[in-house]
A = this chain, B = another copy of it.
Amino acid sequence: MAYKILIVDDEPILTELLSTHLQDHGYTVSVANSSDEALAKLNTKPNLILLDINMPGMDGLELCKVIRNHIVCPILFLTARITEQDKVNGLRAGGDDYITKPFGLQELIARIEAHLRRDERNNRPPEVVTSQGLIINLSDRKVFWNEQELSFSKREFDIIEFLSSNPNQVFDKERIYEAVWGYDAEGDSNVIKEHIRKIRAKLMQASGSEYIETVWGMGYRWKK
């Protein structure tokens, strides 16, 4: 999922430039040309905000404080001001970083990445894979069919995780073994077949449908 970045600045030339550049790097960008517009666009829940300090109407610092009452995400100030006191004020207002114009676009991207990465680290959302009413929560290692939690052993879950994270792809038994056990299987082994059987049985009992498909002579595939 692409990260959403909100740019708040009243200079159309700059916002246009930034917007394009960020989009080239895979970000979803929305632009606000005024404080009011910025507040209105908060409901798009941006993952990061670039905020110009010099804005007509409400000052960037003020705006920052207001934003902080609404959402928690990295806020980076863009500004031409350079005195130390300005920096201090910006950070005290609840900003997370301070980039002085003119700035290099590469540096900007790197800083954005650093902040997003940081944010990710701190409060990563649960990774969830879903298919047809089945919810697979990878970080909690839990599987639900509607309200009901299904229980799987370690190996079983590992196999489910691997297959469901790569839906519709066919993997032969050696490949699955390698991915789940971490090393190559020696000789012919019945292990995979047996685990697949267990998994299928549990999923079938709960949901009544098949999730793992056999591709004859090739391997198994997670249907999505």
A residues touching B (Cβ–Cβ < 8 Å)? 72, 74, 84-85, 87-88, 91-92, 94-97, 104, 106-107, 109-111, 113-115, 117-119, 121-123, 139-141, 153-155, 168-170, 215-218, 221
Contact = CB atoms under 8 A, between A and B. Distances in A.
Copies of this chain, count: 2
B153 A216 contact: yes
Contacts of A218: 141, 154
A141 B72 CA distance: 23
A107 B109 CA distance: 23
Contacts of A141: 170, 215, 218
A127 to B, nearest CB: 12
18 contacts: A72-B121, A74-B118, A84-B104, A84-B106, A84-B107, A87-B107, A87-B110, A88-B110, A92-B110, A92-B114, A94-B117, A96-B115, A122-B122, A122-B123, A139-B169, A141-B218, A153-B216, A154-B216
